[in-house]
Amino acid sequence: MITKTEEPGQIMTIERHILEEQRHHPEATGVLTQLLYDIALAGKVIASRTVRAGLVEILGQTGDINVQGEMVQKLDRFADLTIYRLNDHTGRLAALVSEEDQYPIPIPEKYPCGKYILLYDPIDGSSNIDYNIPVGTIFAVHRRITAEGPGTLEDTLQPGNNLAAAGYILYGSSTMLVYSTGQGVHGFTLDPQVGEFLLSHPNIRIPDKPAYFSANLGYRSRWSEGVARFTDYLLGAEAESPRLSLRYVGSLAADFHRNLLAGGVYYYPVDTKDSKKPQGKLRLAYEAAPLAFLAEQAGGYASDGTRAILEIQPEVLHQRTPLFIGSRPLVEKAEELIRLHG
């Protein structure tokens, strides 16, 4: 008769996994663990709406324009408020940064301030919602720099190398939460019948042999010479070109997730003809940097075309950046061609 502890079939919920991750951090007080629980709960609440987006008046736009000058989708607004309301009172955060808000969001005075900063894109790829294409929440967690009191801009402007944790929740054919606290990358799939994220992808590593590349080739004529040459390399122009399939969902979390599991590269370079976005479209703090953290934890790499994303010190909150992310050899090939050809 085997004992209960020997019985196979351990149930690894995300709560249990986060708690066990905490053991790698002897200085841990459990606050980051609790914060990650809060983010997982927000993911469950948001997921409950995304699967019903066509049914509960969640489709379409609110009629508002956000700080990025983009139409705010109803699901954007719901997700943004859900994350805020699950985190504003816990005493774990000193401030929040949302793609939807121009300035850092302070913790209400009636609640205590904590030691972390949560930066997030509530729904990235929200223009895809109405077409039932997967979208994602992307989040980054920094330790505050200032000692106490309300979080400051200094606390929010930190390079990706400082990240305490990062991850994304992908609302697709299933809902997945993928995160890292610096001890590898781990994926959990939501069991909607149980309402729990269960470990489905432990210790994710980007495969050595890439399978895909992801970019909006409709913009090829607007890219720099080096990026155009990188694209031609991926399309098989050179003898040593890899044989890759082109997959581009137009939803960063979905494209990143596929390339993380199957190997590949996603890139969103500068549109040289769009003078309004000289640094590209994607945001550094709550899109490129958290995904770069995951990519490097999984054995990959992320660059703005000339340097590692994780090394970039943000100057402004919603700073944009070009992004090349995924299998390290492919990202380094992009850097080489950009170095040679601009």
Asked if 319 is part of the footprint of ligand P6P (rule: CB under 6 A), the reply reads no
70-109 residues near ligand P6P, rule: CB under 6 A: none
User: Cα–Cα distances in Å, from 76 out to 80, 101, 113?
Assistant: 6, 12, 26
Asked if 252 is part of the footprint of ligand P6P (rule: CB under 6 A), the reply reads yes
Q: Residue 84 is inside which H or E element, if any?
A: helix 74-85
Asked if 18 is part of the footprint of ligand P6P (rule: CB under 6 A), the reply reads no
* Contact stretch for ligand P6P (CB under 6 A) within 78-86, 192-200, 228-236, 247-255: 247-255
Rounded distance between C-alpha atoms, residue 119 and residue 4, angstroms: 41
User: Out of 216, 222, 235, 299, which residue is the one contacting ligand P6P (CB under 6 A)?
Assistant: 216
User: What's the per-residue H, E or C state across 147-191?
Assistant: CCCCCCHHHHCCCHHHCCEEEEEEECCCEEEEEECCCCCEEEEEE
- If the CB atoms of residues 54 and 250 are measured against ligand P6P, the closer one turns out to be 250
Q: How far is CA 244 from the centre of its chain?
A: 24
- If the CB atoms of residues 180 and 251 are measured against ligand P6P, the closer one turns out to be 251
255-314 residues near ligand P6P, rule: CB under 6 A: 255, 268, 281-282
For the chain, give the longest Cα–Cα distance.
72
- If the CB atoms of residues 151 and 326 are measured against ligand P6P, the closer one turns out to be 326
- If the CB atoms of residues 35 and 123 are measured against ligand P6P, the closer one turns out to be 123
110-149 residues near ligand P6P, rule: CB under 6 A: 124-125, 127
Tracing tokens 């994926």 back to the chain, one arrives at 187
Question: Helix crossing, 74-85 with 31-50: angle to 10°?
Answer: 150
Asked if 68 is part of the footprint of ligand P6P (rule: CB under 6 A), the reply reads no
* Residue whose C-beta lies closest to ligand P6P: 252
User: Cα–Cα distances in Å, from 169 out to 134, 252, 306, 320?
Assistant: 10, 12, 29, 21
Asked if 251 is part of the footprint of ligand P6P (rule: CB under 6 A), the reply reads yes
Asked if 65 is part of the footprint of ligand P6P (rule: CB under 6 A), the reply reads no
Is residue 166 packed enough to be buried (19+ CB in 10 Å), middle (13-18) or exposed (0-12)? buried
Residue 145 C-beta: closest distance to ligand P6P, Å: 28
Asked if 162 is part of the footprint of ligand P6P (rule: CB under 6 A), the reply reads no
User: Cα–Cα distances in Å, from 56 out to 50, 52, 67, 81, 252?
Assistant: 9, 6, 26, 17, 25
* Contact stretch for ligand P6P (CB under 6 A) within 11-19, 158-166, 237-245, 250-258: 250-258
Give contact residues for ligand P6P (rule: CB under 6 A): 124-125, 127, 216, 250-252, 255, 268, 281-282
